[in-house]
Structure 1
């Protein structure tokens, strides 16, 4: 049986800060005008994506992982390790922090920790995000949080389309208004909310904060985890490696014409952010268009992509 790309049908999560850009930019059929997240490739129980082609059509990714681990190189993890999202921050997200694996395992019923990264697809002029804090000690951090000194505490960073940010567990962070982001993360939905701008929901209630756990896990003092991209160019193709971390490797492929690759990872997650074209493997052609998300399985081997496309790819670290 020929090994095929495994395409997925995204699912959508409504959020208080969501908007309509997922429909405007990608043509997705979103559930409302407050759609904040497209879970593009996910096996997390809070939102699984389903295979939409081939012999496994209709199967959730979690079941595919459990029953056909050979497609993933028998990667040594109980759960599918990664989650790919697109986020539409139509308003500021809450300021938050995520635990590492050890803390989450102990305090969140065995859940994975959450290290993540962001690729800025689009943003408004003069957009920014929250990345880190200015406290020197845990005592100073707690005092500034208790006193509501958020402007003094939080570090703001100017952003533009094409920027990349690595966000390890323990990093205070928040996307801000007018930002469209592709997020690659560990497969976790554990978030400790630190500050939510005193917003209320449609019932007039403020969202829950998780200050005690947040204080446990915030890295003090903050250390930037900026990555240094590595760029390789050949024959109209530019490959930018943004990060090779303990959890994932993330690349951007800018293709104009035809580019040939070899899939040598346990599996490769691929998201088409711009353009259209086709993927060619062993004489078979698969059309690609903006908003497509798919996995290239283990031993997929050599393949070509033809067209004009901007693609983000991710793969798990070889040794979790």
Structure 2
């Protein structure tokens, strides 16, 4: 069994709403000042992470998944999760994602897209769109046809440290001035509902997908603020955000040295603040803000030390 963390090099995606905060906050070398997405842990065909070093250096995550299943012990035919960091320097389009069944039927077998957001950074006054005010499909269709976006869309103010679970069927959008770490199913299927009549660099408005969007949108759909369980012990505070059929997501705040046991699942780790070390026997691995790595099945026991915050996810 491989007993070392698997560090990954991210893939960057240009977006009409992107900016340069991925460089400013995480010291990434981004391709341009319209960089909207860091695909940090990805085996999706539209952008695959690559192993940085060690015995699997140079392999894409998809290649590692297919050739070394002993590291993962998963029943999924594809790597099922995708970890991103998004820089919403402008408003994202209002959108909705299908579930597995709908995507499988209408999107060439693609997975559906349930996701969640941890707000890393938010400018004063920043807000997201989460859910809608329509009480029926008929009212949803009517307000969309009328362009009654103020009446339809629910806006929620956000600040750093907030968490939002966004199941498939949820109308949603990040507003400008927000940076999030997103954990999602490994899917790139998005149905745009509204895009503020923006034009791309060629002067064209972006395609909307209203028929599919209306079909998959959950009605009714109101925003409800959640509370989360927090557990503290020596060196670490663990906040559990969500655990369901798609993923488990936690926040680990390390303050000192925390001894951790081996897990029966592979674990995706993203350092979003601070720095420290991962200690495994005689081996020490430096960790810094912006690092992303996978701990394979049965990794450990190990120690995390330093002052840092990580978002942790698994199947």
The TM-score bracket by the shorter chain reads over 0.9
Q: How does 1:1-320 map to 2 (within 5 A)?
A: 2-73=2-73, 75-224=74-223, 226-316=225-315
CA displacement at 1:202 relative to structure 2: 1.1
Note the alpha carbon deviations across 1:24-61, whole angstroms, 9 max, x for none.
00000000000000000000000000000110000000
Note the alpha carbon deviations across 1:93-124, whole angstroms, 9 max, x for none.
00000000000000000000000000000100
SS at match of 2:44: coil
When the two chains are superposed, the root-mean-square deviation of aligned CA atoms in Å is 1.0
* Alignment gaps of 5+ in structure 2: none
Contact persistence 2:133–2:222 (CA under 8 A):
no
Note the alpha carbon deviations across 1:217-268, whole angstroms, 9 max, x for none.
0000114465431100122421101111211111111111101112314210
Contact persistence 1:227–1:242 (CA under 8 A):
no
Contact persistence 2:113–2:186 (CA under 8 A):
yes
CA displacement at 1:128 relative to structure 2: 0.6
Contact persistence 2:3–2:300 (CA under 8 A):
no
CA distance in 1, matches of 2:85, 2:56: 24
Contact persistence 1:166–1:227 (CA under 8 A):
no
Contact persistence 2:132–2:222 (CA under 8 A):
no
SS at match of 2:261: strand
Note the alpha carbon deviations across 1:155-177, whole angstroms, 9 max, x for none.
00011100000000000000000
Q: Which deviates more from structure 2 when the two are superposed, residues 297-306 or residues 193-202?
A: 297-306
CA distance in 2, matches of 1:312, 1:84: 10
CA displacement at 1:192 relative to structure 2: 0.2
CA displacement at 1:188 relative to structure 2: 0.3
CA distance in 2, matches of 1:181, 1:201: 23
Distance 1:225 1:59, change over 3 A: farther
SS at match of 1:263: coil
Please give the TM-score of this superposition, normalised by the length of structure 2.
0.98
CA distance in 2, matches of 1:104, 1:223: 24
CA distance in 2, matches of 1:265, 1:140: 47
Give the aligned length.
Answer: 315
Q: Which deviates more from structure 2 when the two are superposed, residues 12-21 or residues 241-250?
A: 241-250
Note the alpha carbon deviations across 1:262-318, whole angstroms, 9 max, x for none.
2314210000011111101122111101100000000113110110001100000xx
CA distance in 1, matches of 2:200, 2:105: 31
Contact persistence 1:168–1:225 (CA under 8 A):
no
CA distance in 2, matches of 1:224, 1:78: 34
Please give the TM-score of this superposition, normalised by the length of structure 1.
0.97
